[in-house]
Structures are given as structure tokens and as C-alpha cells.
Amino acid sequence: MSLTLKNEKAKNKSIIADKAYHFALRIITVYKDLKKENEFVLSKQILRSGTSIGANVNEAISAVSKKDFVYKLSISLKEARETKYWLNLLKDSNYINEDLFNKSNEECEELIKILSSIILTTKERYLSNA
């Protein structure tokens, strides 16, 4: 792995790993609030997908190849999109209020944009000839 890719991964790691971790903490709060409302099915779905984003980002940081790096981040992106779906469903079914939805959705959208950008950039720079 080139020094440039290592430096890029380290820089991106500090941004995306930190944001994914803090988003997971927010999702845990959402989960706890939903449990208090006796909502157990959707709460587990959003907990699983929302905390999986950061777990897969951390796996990507330890990737053994560029393809593996992109693959793990792609899983994170899918989990972020799934979490966005659950957030919308919870809002539309009145399980979470507008304020909590807006804060959570904004963070989720930011993760989606950052992950998409990292994946696209990595593919263009390192995998376009593969």
C-alpha cells in the first residue's frame, strides 16, 4: 500500500470514524427512547444499522487492500442508507419527534455524503485501472 493511500486513509479515518462513532451514540439514545415507548422491533433495526456504520468504517481502516477498503466502506454506506430509512419510518409513524429526527437525519446525510465521496475518490485514484 502506498504512503499516499495510508496518509489519505489516516486523514479520512479521523473524520469519518469520529463522525460515525458520535452518530452511533445518537442512535443508542434513539434506541433507549424507543424502548421506553415499548417499541422493540424498529428500535433494534435502527440500533443494528446505525451502530454498524462505525464498525465497518473501522474494519475499512484495517483493510488489507484498496478493494477491501472500498468494500468495507460500501457496507458502511449501505448501513447509513438503511438507517436513514428507519429514521424516516420512525418519524412518519410518530415514534420520534421532528427535532430528534432532524438532528439524526442531518448526521446520517453527512455520513452518506462523506462515505460516498471517499468511495468515489478511492475508486477513481486507485482502482480505475484494476
CATH number at 108 reads 1.20.1440.60
**Region 69-94 average pLDDT:** 98
Segment 79-106 shows an average pLDDT of 98
At 65 the pLDDT is 95
| pLDDT for residue 127 | 84
How confident is the model at residue 101, as a pLDDT?
98
Residue 73, domain extent: 3-128
Alpha-carbon distance 40 to 125, whole Å? 43
pLDDT at res. 93:
97
- Average pLDDT of every residue of the chain: 92
Q: 54-82 burial, b for 16+ CB within 10 Å, e for fewer? A: bbbbbbbbebeebeebbebbbbbbebbbb
Instruction: Please give the residue that has the higher pLDDT: either 70 or 9.
Output: 70
pLDDT at residue 128, rounded to an integer? 83
Q: How many domains in the chain?
A: 1
Mean pLDDT of 68-90: 98
